[in-house]
Structure 1
Amino acid sequence: MAKSSADDEELRRACEVAIEGTKQKVVMSIRVAKSRGTWVKAGKLGRGHMAKPRVLALSTKVKGQRTKAFLRVLKYSTGGVLEPAKLYKLKHLSKVEVIANDPSGCTFMLGFDNLRNQSVSPPQWTMRNMDDRNRLLLCILNICKDALGRIPKVVGMDVVEMALWAKDNTPTVPKVAAQKSVPDNHADATVIEDDLNVTVERELVSQAEEEDMETLLGTYVMGIGEAEAFSERLKRELHALEAANVHAILECEPMIDEVLQGLEVAANCIEDMDEWLGIFNVKLRHMREDIQSIETRNNKLELQSVNNRLLTEEVDRLLERLRIPPEYVALLTGGSFGEAHMQQNYEACEWLLGALKGLEATKMDPAFAKMRAVKERRGELEILKSNFIHSASAFLRNYFAGLVDNMLADKNSFSQRGQLKRPDHADLRFRCRVYARLLQHLKKLDKNCLVPLRKAYCGSFNFLFRREVKEFSNELRASTKAPKNATLQWLEGPTGSSHGGNPPDSSMVAEAYSKMLTVFVPLLVDESSFFAHFMCFDVPTLVPAGNDSSGHKSMDSNDDDLGIMDIDDNDSKGGKNPAELAALNEALRDLLDGVQEDFYAVVDWACKIDPLRCISLHGITDRYISSQKADAAGFVRLLLDDLEGRISMQFGRFVDETCHQIERNERTVRQTNVLPYISRFATLATRMEQYIQGQNRDLVDQAYTKLVSIMFVTLEKVAETDLKYADIFLLENYAAFQNSLYDLANVVPTLAKFYHQASEAYEQACSRHISMIIYYQFERLFSFARRIEDLMSTIAPEEIPFQIGLSKMELRKMLKSSLSGVDKSISAMYKKLQKNLNSEELLPSLWDKCKKEFLDKYESFGQLVAKVYPSENIPSVAEMRDLLASM
């Protein structure tokens, strides 16, 4: 018999090498053939299902107290080396099925319950012989039973037959056991190995079961022909055994009588005992009832004692909660609001708040909340709260009015003649700050009580702010030494007047406006922020005290106690309350409304002195607008927006008036020389560019667009009054516009666009005027050429000489009359160009354009003559160019 591959040590070592690093021990390795086909006959696979050589290896791995078992499938690589192909866990093995179609019985399938694709049939494994098959399957079953405690379902083979085979062949199947590895330098854990070999008979069928089966089979080995006869024989023997049992029972009757007599005596004793037990049970029940009654009375007494103690403690706490300290009553009803007594007032407010919260229905037991004493005490606290709020509100209203009256009575607090006074609110804010905490307590007591206080504060301080702004504005304008009339009347007066020189300096106007904003915008922002926090609006922290919106130190920055930021560190809110923000903006309008009129007066005054200064004023205002982002600066943002709109409106009026002057100029000007506004626009644009100084260009660019568009439209309308000289008038004006605006157009994109527009209009006017002069002197020559061009589109060139008026004779006559005195004609053309032109500096460029245009037309004429009259000779283009150059 050939040696089985399961005993091949080389194969086992190759398998161990293939799975090296997995910490698994190979229990058995055996060669098999893998296929997925169906057996048809003689153990041959169907077409397309060729068997592949594989090696099945059973391996185990010890992990703690558990042993894991695996079935590995290894295949041969190209070099004949084993490498892992598949790995199955034996804990998922659910079925072992021997293929019935294989006559040899050496093919089987292993079914696993965790395969993802159950629609694909599992692979079939074919062994070399039945011994290898039984040996492998027995090893799998033993490992499953030892390691997992169960065996899979076996289909297609008899377990008893396998047990008999195992007994005859006496192989030993290694059982899964713990492994022990010898400690070395690379391992710290110790694993115990047991070399236990278990026989197949003990694992599948026990020894006793096997002996019973052999006895049974030996007893009935003879005379058994059919299953029915065997069954009838067993039934007869069963009836015989039952009859024998009944007979044996009947033979034991004397013994049964003795047992029954003993049972009767025992029953009598039990009845006597039952009567005694009944008597004892009644007595015990009565005793139990007495004990229960005593315990109930005792429990009620204990419960009553505990309840009385707890009730006493609760009543003491309630009385403590209802007690009103007399010193707090005195402070809340008729206390003084002097600065020295404010700390005591704050303590009384805090106690009152705590007492009111303590008597809220949600803070007390519902039974206490309905008590008459609690209701009466709550009413008393409400009366105290109302009296305190009324007294504090009346004091604060009078206090605010008194502060403002003192400021108004001091004339040194305001600007006077010859002296600009920056408003100083340091002492004012410090005095208000003393009562900031009082306002916070009033808000906690009743939020609605702040509404009249805010109105009183706004009414008192609004008059002060308006007075300060008005006095400052009046003195600012009076002390500014501005020119009486710096307005650029750039359309009036003769060309070359003093307007072309340096205009009066109006920079002090912009400086005055900037000073107005520098002084009052930070002041108004700080006052808005102070008011928002002083009057306890639920808005985030807005502008830090001592800094204006532009990041500079404000005029109040010398006093560290002016800000409201540190009144209550826990009062700042992280989010925005839209309703509270709307209330704040409305209150700020009451506080600061009216100050805008004096700002408007400064803007109107500055724009009246020099309308172009609107550009500087617009830039100054825009910078302040971009820096005001805080919520408390809402009124200031609106004020700056209104100022910017008013400045834009004033500048728009100036631009509209200038456009009106241009249009009015159309009705009065005569078509001579260059229009005044064409040459003077560059002066206006230069001043406007000086006032921009890096700010937003939208305002100026819109003005440029409007002015230049009106200028060009008016220029075209004036040119239409005399069509004979229209082109000369246009080219001179467009040339003057380009010459004056050349430098600005290189740096201003909007002006560059109009510069190119003027350049195109200039070229068109030049082209029309030059063509008119050329045709005036050489009308017959170029009219003859035009007739030839018209005919060439309909007839062949060689037929043109036979047309009426285009014969060779007519050509010679025309050349004689047009070119006989060509030098005189060219001189006349130059004189005509010079006579009509008013700007001598344009003559050289126009004459060059005229000569070039004449040569181009003459060259076209020469090409026509060469095509139509090839035998005729005319003066060449080179001769004509030399003639023009010599003149």
Structure 2
Amino acid sequence: MAKSSADDEELRRACEAAIDVTNQKIIMCMKVSKSRGIWGKSTLLGRGHMAKPRVLALSTESKAQSDKAFLRVLKYSSGGVLEPAKLYKLKHLSKVEVITNDPSGCTFMMGFDNLRNQSVAPSQWTMRNINDRNRLLLCILNICKEILGQLPKVVGIDIVELALWAKENTPTVTNRAHPRDGPLASVVTESDSKVTVEKDLVSQAEEEDMEALLGTYVMGIGEAEAFSERLKRELLALEAANVHAILESEPLVEEVLQGLESATICVEDMDEWLGIFNIKLRHMRQDIESIETRNNKLEMQSVNNESLIKELDKLLERLRVPSEYATSLTGGSFDEARMLQNVEACEWLTNALQSLEAPKLDPSYAKMKAVKEKRAELEKLKTTFVRRASEFLRNYFSSLVDFMISDKSYFSQRGQLKRPDHADLRYKCRTYARLLQHLKSLDKNCLGPLRNAYCHSLNLLLRREAREFANELRASTKAPRNPSVWLEASSGSNQIVNSADTSTVSEAYAKMLTIFIPLLVDESSFFAHFMCFEVPALVPPGGHGDGSKTGPNDNDANDDDLGIMDIDENDSKTGNSAELGTLNESLQELLDGIQEDFYAVVDWAYKIDPLRCISMHGITERYLSGQKADAAGFVRRLLDDLESKISLQFNRFVDEACHQIERNERNVRQMGVLSYIPRFATLATRMEQYIQGQSRDLVDQAYTKFVSIMFATLEKIAQTDPKVADIVLLENYAAFQNSLYDLANVVPTLAKFYHQASESYEQACTRHINMIIYFQFERLFQFARKIEDLMYTITPEEIPFQLGLSKMDLRKMIKSTLSGVDKSITAMYRRLQKNLTSEELLPSLWDKCKKEFLDKYESFAQLVAKIYPNETITSVAGMRELLASM
């Protein structure tokens, strides 16, 4: 018989090395083949197809409180070394099944109750022979019984046969330890005794009884099938004997059944009597419930009648119209003394109408005839009162304004500017502010005609005040009447421009805005609150639209505080877009037409001094930045329109001035500095004085347009005579720089044009100086240019052999050009001086001319030294001394 792998010491050592756990001991390790089958079926007959070599190792671990046992699966790596594959705890082993499809009986599988995926077929293990199988299973069962105290279910193998095999193949060596040593003391490893000595699967007493039982049969114990058939037959015999005994006890059964039948009859009689009593009790209970229901209904009816009487009393009180309120609503006076009674009547009427509407009135009352009649009566009272009040207020607004217009003392007169004062008007209107609030709550539609009437009446007053104030403002302002002519070509460059002080013009415009813009903002705010628009406040109480302080005569500092904001606490405080749109439409009607007087002041100021548009533009910008409230839309539009008109007027002045500049190009043969160059410097200085920190963009745009036209016109004039074009350009660009030097240091826009003029001046100087130099020394520098051109194609040594460039030609050219060089330089100076009208430019131009000539001569000298090394010419140092002496 072949040696079992369980006895292989090398295999055991390899397993211990693979597990590498110090506190665990390997009980047994054995080589097996692993394959995968389907539940209940086995494919092991073709084990060569799926079989994989594995090693099963049983190990135990002893701890202070408990012992553990493990089944380890080890596999061979690619290098033939054992390595752990899987680890099972034997306490979860629930089933050991020997596969019946394998005729050899060497294949079995083990089921564990803690496997996560029970749908996957468990692995099947195939041993080399039956002895290895029995040896491994016997070791597993002994460990389970000793350590875990329970045995797994064994299927496909008889436990008795397994016990008999263990007895035949195990020596009689026993090694039982004291119980205190723990259950592991009874398990002896094969490394100690080469055989496994374990506790018996069957106790000694059970074994003796089994032997006695088996001894009663003549057949041998090995004939298992015959023994099983014998036991089945005896079991059938015992069951037949039990049936016979039951049949013999039939008389006793009959007697028991008769007793049960008589008891059933008594129970049925008792059930019938109980049914009768139950019916009688049910009828009695129904009678009692009926009596209680009738009693409860009577009590409820009594309570409901009392509540109904109270509710009807309340309803009648709600429907009653006090006679004093009815009198005020239908025919009372609207005098100031009677306004308190009228307001009280309005409050009562409003509350009465609201009390007849849900949720204050129960919806079930709404269909009552009395409620419908009373609602119709209240609606009639409301309509009558709203009509009377609206008619009175329309007439009242008209009469107030007519009275003020008829009194000339309210307006500005000759020699006296009068600030509009609406304190008395607002005080009288404020008397009816609370009435308007109640009219709004009664009928919002009535406010439209009232707003139109107020706007129409007050518009007449405001326009009359603005017209009278503007006329007297212009008449009382002392300003020069002769308009300034700034950039006319006919004016001499030295003529002093009319610089009369016109500050009173812009001051008059500022006064117009100071008086009327806050007034218009206040009127807009008062109108919005007085006419019950749900919009936010335009200005703080006592404030003005421009943020200026109130004057000593400003007695209406708190005119916008109507004291009526607590009437309707449910009104929106933030306002909505619909209300805002309606308000701006009304403000347009209230203030429309007043802008014409502002336009007239702007036109008047423009005729006196167009440059005052700059100051007026800055003043308008300051007021415009102070108008933040959306509800003052008309005032903001008015300021926008004024700003646009002022910009338009100033742009017209700029266009006219540019047209005057363009006329200069029509004059023939203009020399020297053009007249508009110095006059523009004067104009720019005046414009900067008017800016005063405002209107920077407006002036910068004018500068850009002016200078662009000036430079374009200058270029056109210079091209009329190409001989003196560069002289005209350099003189005018120099004059532009000299006149604007101070302003260019503080004005970025002018600084940009200053640098542009500087570049154009340098270019014109360079062209003019080169022309003078080449006129006097043309042969010299043409000879140098020929040499430079040939140096691109041939070597310097070959150049003296070219036609016209020989040493003899060089000597002739030097003799003709440099023999009287001092005279040529003098002629060059005279030509530079000939057409120049600005004598102050001559020194700087002559210095540039000498420097440019010396640079060119130095380049020529370097060429001669390189091409004609043996030829001598005037040295650069000598030429520099000659130029310095002249």
Q: TM-score, normalised by structure 2?
A: 0.75
Aligned in 2, Cα 1:866/1:443: closer, same or farther, shift over 3 Å? same
Aligned in 2, Cα 1:33/1:282: closer, same or farther, shift over 3 Å? closer
> Which aligned pairs between 1:460-499 and structure 2 lie closer than 5 A?
460-485=457-482, 487-491=484-488, 492-499=490-497
- Counterpart CA distance in 2 for 1:95 and 1:576 is 81
The CA deviation string for residues 92-116 of structure 1, in whole angstroms up to 9 with x for no partner, is: x998459999xxxxx99996989xx
Partner of 2:500: 504
SS at match of 1:423: coil
Considering only aligned residues, what root-mean-square deviation do their CA atoms show, in Å?
4.4
| CA drift at 1:581 | 1.1
SS at match of 2:611: helix
The CA deviation string for residues 597-632 of structure 1, in whole angstroms up to 9 with x for no partner, is: 111111111121111111111111111111211012
Structure 1: gaps (5+ residues): 1-29, 60-92, 102-106, 122-128, 142-152, 161-166, 174-211
Partner of 2:318: 321
Question: Among residues 510, 517, 524, which one is paired with 2:513 in the alignment?
Answer: 517
SS at match of 1:611: coil
| CA drift at 1:325 | 2.3
Tell me, yes or no, if the aligned pair for 2:365 and 2:371 is still in contact at 8 Å. Answer: yes
**Which amino acid in the other structure matches residue 782 of structure 1?**
F
**Which amino acid in the other structure matches residue 685 of structure 2?**
T
| CA drift at 1:829 | 1.4
SS at match of 1:498: coil
| CA drift at 1:233 | 3.6
- Counterpart CA distance in 2 for 1:94 and 1:40 is 19
> Which aligned pairs between 1:100-111 and structure 2 lie closer than 5 A?
none
| CA drift at 1:865 | 2.2
- Counterpart CA distance in 2 for 1:554 and 1:738 is 48
- Counterpart CA distance in 1 for 2:390 and 2:645 is 41
Partner of 1:350: 347
Partner of 1:71: none
Partner of 1:605: 604
Partner of 1:880: 879
Tell me, yes or no, if the aligned pair for 2:529 and 2:560 is still in contact at 8 Å. Answer: no
Partner of 2:546: 550
Partner of 1:580: 579
- Counterpart CA distance in 2 for 1:171 and 1:108 is 32
- Counterpart CA distance in 2 for 1:378 and 1:544 is 42
**Which amino acid in the other structure matches residue 712 of structure 1?**
F
Aligned in 2, Cα 1:283/1:869: closer, same or farther, shift over 3 Å? closer
SS at match of 2:564: coil
Aligned in 2, Cα 1:227/1:630: closer, same or farther, shift over 3 Å? farther
The answer to whether structure 1 residue 400 and structure 2 residue 366 are counterparts is: no
| CA drift at 1:722 | 1.4
> Which aligned pairs between 1:204-243 and structure 2 lie closer than 5 A?
222-223=212-213, 226=224, 229=227, 233=231, 236-237=234-235, 240=238, 243=241
Partner of 2:38: none
Partner of 1:149: none
| CA drift at 1:720 | 1.5
| CA drift at 1:496 | 2.1
- Counterpart CA distance in 2 for 1:831 and 1:290 is 150
Tell me, yes or no, if the aligned pair for 2:31 and 2:55 is still in contact at 8 Å. Answer: no
- Counterpart CA distance in 2 for 1:602 and 1:172 is 124
Partner of 2:664: 665
Tell me, yes or no, if the aligned pair for 1:662 and 1:711 is still in contact at 8 Å. Answer: yes
The answer to whether structure 1 residue 534 and structure 2 residue 530 are counterparts is: yes
- Counterpart CA distance in 2 for 1:49 and 1:650 is 109
The answer to whether structure 1 residue 439 and structure 2 residue 416 are counterparts is: no
| CA drift at 1:351 | 2.4
Aligned in 2, Cα 1:134/1:268: closer, same or farther, shift over 3 Å? closer
Tell me, yes or no, if the aligned pair for 1:31 and 1:56 is still in contact at 8 Å. Answer: no
The CA deviation string for residues 516-570 of structure 1, in whole angstroms up to 9 with x for no partner, is: 1111111111111111121111222331121113333345864464123642143
Tell me, yes or no, if the aligned pair for 2:673 and 2:735 is still in contact at 8 Å. Answer: yes
SS at match of 1:707: helix
SS at match of 1:619: helix
| CA drift at 1:407 | 2.3
- Counterpart CA distance in 2 for 1:828 and 1:347 is 110
SS at match of 2:740: helix
Structure 2: gaps (5+ residues): 1-20, 34-52, 67-88, 98-109, 124-138, 160-175, 183-201, 215-220
**Which amino acid in the other structure matches residue 549 of structure 2?**
K
- Counterpart CA distance in 1 for 2:665 and 2:796 is 52
Aligned in 2, Cα 1:447/1:875: closer, same or farther, shift over 3 Å? same
Aligned in 2, Cα 1:341/1:230: closer, same or farther, shift over 3 Å? farther
- Counterpart CA distance in 2 for 1:271 and 1:786 is 151
> Which aligned pairs between 1:784-799 and structure 2 lie closer than 5 A?
784-799=783-798
Partner of 1:334: 331
- Counterpart CA distance in 2 for 1:676 and 1:595 is 44
Aligned in 2, Cα 1:866/1:53: closer, same or farther, shift over 3 Å? farther
Tell me, yes or no, if the aligned pair for 1:800 and 1:806 is still in contact at 8 Å. Answer: yes
| CA drift at 1:463 | 0.9
| CA drift at 1:235 | 7.9
Question: Among residues 379, 383, 396, which one is paired with 1:382 in the alignment?
Answer: 379
Partner of 2:677: 678
- Counterpart CA distance in 2 for 1:442 and 1:797 is 110
Tell me, yes or no, if the aligned pair for 1:95 and 1:111 is still in contact at 8 Å. Answer: no
Tell me, yes or no, if the aligned pair for 2:534 and 2:571 is still in contact at 8 Å. Answer: yes
Aligned in 2, Cα 1:34/1:629: closer, same or farther, shift over 3 Å? farther
The answer to whether structure 1 residue 451 and structure 2 residue 448 are counterparts is: yes
The CA deviation string for residues 486-524 of structure 1, in whole angstroms up to 9 with x for no partner, is: 52434353232232xx81111111111111111111111
Tell me, yes or no, if the aligned pair for 1:31 and 1:55 is still in contact at 8 Å. Answer: no
> Which aligned pairs between 1:624-635 and structure 2 lie closer than 5 A?
624-635=623-634
SS at match of 1:319: helix
Tell me, yes or no, if the aligned pair for 1:534 and 1:564 is still in contact at 8 Å. Answer: no
Aligned in 2, Cα 1:223/1:576: closer, same or farther, shift over 3 Å? farther
| CA drift at 1:39 | 8.2
The answer to whether structure 1 residue 848 and structure 2 residue 844 are counterparts is: no
The CA deviation string for residues 302-334 of structure 1, in whole angstroms up to 9 with x for no partner, is: 454444444434433333332222222222212
Tell me, yes or no, if the aligned pair for 2:30 and 2:57 is still in contact at 8 Å. Answer: no
Partner of 1:564: 561
The answer to whether structure 1 residue 423 and structure 2 residue 420 are counterparts is: yes
> Which aligned pairs between 1:731-742 and structure 2 lie closer than 5 A?
731-742=730-741
The CA deviation string for residues 391-421 of structure 1, in whole angstroms up to 9 with x for no partner, is: 1111211222222223223322222222221
Partner of 2:185: none
- Counterpart CA distance in 1 for 2:206 and 2:232 is 12
| CA drift at 1:658 | 0.3
**Which amino acid in the other structure matches residue 548 of structure 1?**
H
Aligned in 2, Cα 1:413/1:860: closer, same or farther, shift over 3 Å? same
Tell me, yes or no, if the aligned pair for 2:543 and 2:557 is still in contact at 8 Å. Answer: no
Partner of 1:14: none
Tell me, yes or no, if the aligned pair for 1:488 and 1:503 is still in contact at 8 Å. Answer: no
Deviates more, 1:823-832 or 1:225-234: 225-234
SS at match of 1:564: coil
Tell me, yes or no, if the aligned pair for 1:33 and 1:51 is still in contact at 8 Å. Answer: no
- Counterpart CA distance in 2 for 1:218 and 1:318 is 109
- Counterpart CA distance in 2 for 1:676 and 1:808 is 55
> Which aligned pairs between 1:808-887 and structure 2 lie closer than 5 A?
808-887=807-886
- Counterpart CA distance in 1 for 2:752 and 2:867 is 47
| CA drift at 1:214 | 11
**Which amino acid in the other structure matches residue 873 of structure 2?**
I
Number of residues paired by the alignment? 748
